[in-house]
Structure 1
């Protein structure tokens, strides 16, 4: 399998190939990704507390604006990590795919958008359950892998594709990719990762967890 990376600090890498149908249809309502930050999250998260709050706001504002623009004709998941927004789900056509990206780019504090929306039918209940199970398996695999901090990653699954988000070292990125790639049910792995140096990681770990940025 090949992995492709952009030359920038943020990388969007693809592993494997997942087939998507080309059928055009109306889709289910919008879904928002992400979790509410707690004191515990702030303490272990590699993002600053300010970035965590921004990520929550980005997800909520993007969801609202997409709903205003597109109604219920699309099923779009918005997951933000360190002010980078990942779009997954389905839309009916290329126009809606581009529209969703432009809407999210216009949200305050968004530093970048990774548009992984498919032009296809909404997944069946069986497929949605399979994605939930797949996400759980990948997270469990990360927990079981020595040397990985699971709190450094966000895992999103969509139609058998596993999306990895986080601020991690190159070693951690490769380890997590291997875990996801070899997890039962994974058809493709997409890396939306900010690669940091070991020195930067050491600074993050030694600094106050609540420092805003």
Structure 2
């Protein structure tokens, strides 16, 4: 149940400008958890539409992933309240869970809870048993994520839009629809980034031909 996604860097903007725009976008994304009660607005806003254009997922899959994350988070919150700290990331309907649970029983319950959500294809449960992470640890994880994404842009070896980065306790998880070469490049950049303890690939692999088709559907028909 692994997933990956890379691509060419689009546009002729200088790398520095591209990096600045990415960091601004990441800063905005970091504020999304504060808007948990506003999912319909966030999911259907201009930012979401722009992101879909450069994503290898279909528009339907993109929106469905947003909905899955919302539904799973609500289920976990209703079932366990504040006893768990679980981050939910859905990519192409595969759900990655990261964070902390108070014991192995609760951690095990998460799989069935997620699997029961409509349209979920699979669950990757990377939740650990232990106390909740501190706010400073979470801030450091957010910084690592921003740095890894910025380095993706700087290296210009693949499109940063095609690899989703999630960091938990200095462990970087990489998701996306990618080729093997793109996956290797992304993993190398992440592994050599400051503060990264470990890199876990949660990629869905596609062929070079499929990557070209997804990146330029109009050209594939010519």
- Bin of the TM-score, shorter chain as denominator length: 0.7 to 0.9
Q: 1:166 aligns with which of 159, 165, 176?
A: 176
Question: Which protein has the bigger strand share?
Answer: 1
Using structure 2 for the length normalisation, give the TM-score.
0.77
65-74 or 78-87, larger mean C-alpha shift:
65-74
Structure 1 residues not aligned, in runs of 5+: 1-7, 13-30, 209-213
Question: Which protein has the bigger helix share?
Answer: 2
Query: Counterparts of 2:170 and 2:216 in 1: how far apart (Å)?
Result: 37
Using structure 1 for the length normalisation, give the TM-score.
0.80
Higher relative contact order (CA 8 A, sep 6+): 2
Number of the residue aligned with 2:25: none
Residue 81 and residue 11 in structure 1: after superposition, are their counterparts in 2 closer, same or farther (change >3 A)?
closer
Query: Counterparts of 1:71 and 1:199 in 2: how far apart (Å)?
Result: 45
Trace 1:57-136 onto structure 2 (pairs within 5 A): 57-136=67-146
Number of the residue aligned with 1:3: none
Number of the residue aligned with 1:52: 62
Report the secondary structure of 2:196's partner residue: coil
Residue correspondences, number: 181
Deviation of the 1:11 alpha carbon: 5.5
Report the secondary structure of 2:82's partner residue: coil
Q: Give every structure 1 segment of 4 or more consecutive aligned residues whose post-TM-superposition deviation is greater than 3 Å.
A: 34-37
Give the aligned CA root-mean-square deviation in angstroms: 1.9
Matched, 1:42 2:28: no
